[in-house]
Amino acid sequence: MKFKLKVWRQKTATAPGKLVEYQAKDVSPNTSFLEMLDVVNEGLVAQGKEPIAFDSDCREGICGTCSLTINGEAHGPDHPGAACEVYMRRFKDGETIVVEPFRAKPFPLIKDLVVDRSALDRIVQAGGFIAARAGSAPEANSILVPKHEADRSMEAAACIGCGACAAACPNASAMLFTAAKVSHLAFLPQGQPERTTRVLKMVTAMDAEGFGNCTNTYECEAVCPASISASLIAKLNREYAIASLKRRAGE
Amino acid sequence: MIGTLDSRIPSGPLAQKWATHKDHARLVSPNNRRKFQVIVVGSGLAGGAAAATLGELGYNVKCFCYQDSPRRAHSIAAQGGINAAKNYQNDGDSVFRLFYDTIKGGDFRSREANVYRLAEVSNLIIDHCVEQGVPFAREYGGLLANRSFGGAQVSRTFYARGQTGQQLLLGAYQALCRQIAAGTVAMFPQTEMLDLVLVDGHAKGIITRSLVTGKIAAHAADAVVLATGGYGNVFYLSTNARGCNVTATYRAYKKGALFANPCFTQIHPTCIPVSGQNQSKLTLMSESLRNDGRVWVPKKAGDKRSPKQIPEEERDYYLERKYPSFGNLAPRDISSRAAKEVCDEGRGVGESGRGVYLDFADAINRVGEQTIRERYGNLFHIYEKITGENAYERPMRIYPAVHYTMGGLWVDYNLMSNIPGLHVIGEANFSDHGANRLGASALMQGLADGYFVLPYTLPVYLAGQIGKRPPTDHQEFCKAEDEVRARTTKLLSINGSRSVDSFHRELGFLLWDKCGMARNTRGLREALTWIPEMREQFWRDVRVPGIGKEFNQSLERAGRVADFLEFAELMCIDALTRDESCGGHFREEHQTPDGEALRDDEHFADVFAWEYQGNGSIAAPKLHREPLVFETVELTQRSYK
């Protein structure tokens, strides 16, 4: 197969960027999208040019490092899945493919297709944890968790922290990300003591990072590689409302 | 050499050693802890857990990782589960049995005392992770669920769907985030350690490069902890993440830390087979699949019929046939070799002929597709993404791939290397898995070291070190920084004709061929003549575009591949010197009549710890041997029949 690529190139955070055209030739349909970019990069190095900078690590959809917007879709056409799980058999031979970084104001660009997503870490640092010191835990089976609750917690905990939700959202909202973390811990008995403060702190941090608000367009859910349900955003809103009321009532 | 090869294993009965050691170990009092600065390199299960726990205790911690967030460390990709001796299934498990299975699984090439301690603390890990909010699988009554893994006849593996590593790492990451917010841990993401700094023979700091700005910086500390994972990427194609590398441990080796058993690498039996030339990495299909999947190939060589057309009596379920008591759950080294053997006989499946079937048809008939989907849904999904095939309808094709490295820096019972102050935890050390690691034991070891061992053993060193932290303008820091700068400049200035990846690929294929699933004297000698030539060519002809003071992925990789090109030689020397077969180290010259690994306990029941003397033409590394003393277990020919 062969493809025409239009790839976002930008040398530094402040330099102007633009789409640059490249050809990808003799591509096997069983090549992954990132491997196709590897081959293009090998060609660029051979010509003495700078290769395209893009992020990836595990290349099996779990680490959340890869962050490409392919033909306008965060993580490309093969949902649910990360960009590293997109294979070239998904595209038509001869197709033009536009490759851009994840774009959201709280994700400043580093180079070409690489952005800084540390804003997501800071939301977790604000309260996305259970304060449990190593060595202080009770026997694991002493607290029962109904399977249904454990499953719901697991579904929320599956978030890979890639930031596609914010990149796909017209408002650059990170509500799905925050909702996933808040819900993961709120569904579990161990998460109850800090439930109120956790959601308040995380939402405050999310707003401070400059992420926008949710206006129910559900682009986040559509591109989420971990199939996190947008219904968790409603849960986040409920958690936040109840926590705010409790806080106001002085609890 | 620096220090001695003293394992510092406490005396007394095996089951009492750890308790006795803790009772008598030196402590650092709470108000003194904040006077110490500890560097932790790596933020996976071992490093993340250690940094968080040391922070909780009140030490000042600096934690470094090359990823853009500590949550992305490669522990995240572990799928199947984590072992613990809880005996929740009432099926005969115990701390001793977990210990014994691990020692036997490692083909009697690990230390009894370390492995026993690992089994002992395994239960604490499960308690702690549950408390952190790790959503382990549960039964309908709300109790924790278990499944079986290879090399054990009990169900002791705890799991969170096929994403156990991710969930355990998020637990450690959240604990780390809490400490970052509390100010006890300073996190340095996208920062790579490029050298270790020794002052008066003690590890007192590191030199790093920011992967974003290219800035090279010195960091001083009272102790350094390496939790930088394994070196499987030396093979180019492996299940490791693209960024995994040997640089931190190799740099420490070049500064005098001993590297132990580097040839002990694990080839995992169930990975998606290689397809095409441009493949950049291999993907594991969790061993847990062998709970329900049956492994087979056609009985006839060259049988190209589709799997459904091959009738039952013409299939060879070779693991069940050869190892009836463990069947499809035979340990990894044994299952991998068995797959290689049937493929070598021309009975492999798929286009390349390097593949075997992992078939779920029987399990689906027995428990229904829905149950299989619940157990392994995400794995079937990954499989379909990569191969375009639906494994509910046709068997998966799998083949062994490099997955884990049991070798690593030599450490004593306190997890300290021979360099005072340099501690090594998780996959980066050598101590617990011998010549073969059992499934679901890597997560156990990483978290054991990070949460429950290092926090007790680090004070043994630190207690004597108050006020001994050197300033970063000490001449040793300046010297190391200059060396790092010079090396970076050199890599950028060669401006040859070949890409970094082309060298990495060439090295990897050579190693897979000569130092992979089977090794022999001739092949290893060939590799040892090729590697120095490849290295010489690299330093003459590599092309690294861009500059040092910027985000430069080619430069990052060039540094790592340069270290792989040296480290590969050490691996082959180790493989050649260990003139026996054991676990994953299969020397073709040493096998039983039915093709199993044949150990030579009389000559090789030792840890091989190598001391750097220079590479290739300069000088061969110097071998130090730590005899393995078995007080409790009897060394037997490992049998899973």
CATH number for the domain including B560?
Answer: 1.20.58.100
- Same domain assignment for residues B68 and B166: yes
- Same domain assignment for residues B219 and B303: no
Q: Tens of pLDDT along A112-156?
A: 999 999 999 999 999 999 999 999 999 999 999 999 999 999 999
What CATH number did the domain enclosing B356 receive? 3.90.700.10
Please give the pLDDT value at position A231. Answer: 98
Interchain CB contact of B275 with A (< 8 Å): yes
Please give the pLDDT value at position B458. Answer: 98
Contacts of A79 (CB under 8 A, 6+ apart): A73, A222, A223, A224, A225
- Same domain assignment for residues B38 and B84: yes
**pLDDT band at residue B286 using 50, 70 and 90 as cut-offs:** confident
**pLDDT band at residue B618 using 50, 70 and 90 as cut-offs:** low
∠ at Cα B75 (B70, B80), nearest 5°?
145
Q: Which of B129, B166, B241 sits opposite A57 (nearest CB)?
A: B241
User: Is the Cα torsion angle B19, B24, B25, B30 positive or negative in sign?
Assistant: positive
Q: Tens of pLDDT along A26-85?
A: 999 999 999 999 999 999 999 989 999 999 999 999 999 999 999 999 999 999 999 999
Total domains in the fold of chain B: 3
- What is the mean pLDDT of the segment spanning B51-79? 97
Q: Is B337 a catalytic residue?
A: no
| pLDDT cut 70: percent of chain A above it | 100
Report yes or no on B502 lying in a domain: yes
Interchain CB contact of A184 with B (< 8 Å): yes
Length of chain A counted residue by residue: 251
- Same domain assignment for residues B377 and B511: no
Q: Tens of pLDDT along B249-263?
A: 999 999 999 999 999
- Indicate the CATH number for domain A3-111: 3.10.20.30
Domain chopping of chain A, boundaries: 3-111, 118-248
Range of the domain at B584: 482-606
- The answer to whether A110 contacts B212, with C-beta atoms less than 8 Å apart, is yes
- What is the mean pLDDT of the segment spanning B66-80? 96
Interchain CB contact of B549 with A (< 8 Å): no
∠ at Cα B198 (B471, B207), nearest 5°?
70
Q: How far apart are CA B204 and CA B200, in angstroms?
A: 9
- What is the mean pLDDT of the segment spanning B607-624? 87
- Same domain assignment for residues B362 and B279: yes
Please say if the pLDDT value at position B179 is more than 90: yes
Q: Which amino acid appears at position B459 of this protein?
A: P
> How large is the angle between the packed helices B247-254 and B553-577, nearest 10 degrees?
60
What residues of chain B lie within 8 A of the CB of A102, using their CB? none
- Same domain assignment for residues B377 and B523: no
Please say if the pLDDT value at position B617 is more than 70: no
CB B398 within 8 A of CB B270: yes
Q: Tens of pLDDT along A3-22?
A: 999 999 999 999 999 999 99
Instruction: Find residue B260's DSSP bridge partners.
Output: B408, B609
Q: How far apart are CA B142 and CA A145, in angstroms?
A: 4
Q: Which of A45, A125, A132 sits opposite B181 (nearest CB)?
A: A125
- Same domain assignment for residues B129 and B213: yes
- Same domain assignment for residues B117 and B147: yes
State the residue for tokens 């008995």.
Answer: A189
In order of A27, A63, B237, B274, B284, the CA distances from B277 in angstroms are 11, 24, 11, 8, 19
Query: Of the listed B111, B290, B332, B578, which one is catalytic?
Result: B332
Q: Which of A38, A62, A78 sits opposite B278 (nearest CB)?
A: A38
Please give the pLDDT value at position B287. Answer: 85
State the residue for tokens 């002990």.
Answer: B264
Report yes or no on B38 lying in a domain: yes
Helix spans in B16-107 (H): 17-24, 30-33, 45-57, 95-105
Please give the pLDDT value at position A91. Answer: 97
Please say if the pLDDT value at position B390 is more than 80: yes
**pLDDT band at residue B424 using 50, 70 and 90 as cut-offs:** very high
State the residue for tokens 């999947």.
Answer: B293
User: Is the Cα torsion angle B587, B590, B596, B600 positive or negative in sign?
Assistant: negative
Please give the pLDDT value at position B3. Answer: 93
- Same domain assignment for residues B458 and B489: no
| pLDDT cut 90: percent of chain B above it | 91
Q: How far apart are CA A43 and CA A26, in angstroms?
A: 13
Interchain CB contact of A58 with B (< 8 Å): yes
**pLDDT band at residue A251 using 50, 70 and 90 as cut-offs:** confident
- Same domain assignment for residues B248 and B121: yes
Report yes or no on B211 lying in a domain: yes
- Same domain assignment for residues B455 and B556: no
Q: Tens of pLDDT along B496-549?
A: 999 999 999 999 999 999 999 999 999 999 999 999 999 999 999 999 999 999
Q: How far apart are CA B292 and CA B372, in angstroms?
A: 8
- Same domain assignment for residues B341 and B486: no
- What is the mean pLDDT of the segment spanning B56-77? 98
Under CATH, to which class is A118-248 assigned? mainly alpha
Report yes or no on B628 lying in a domain: no
**pLDDT band at residue B616 using 50, 70 and 90 as cut-offs:** low
- What is the mean pLDDT of the segment spanning B456-460? 98
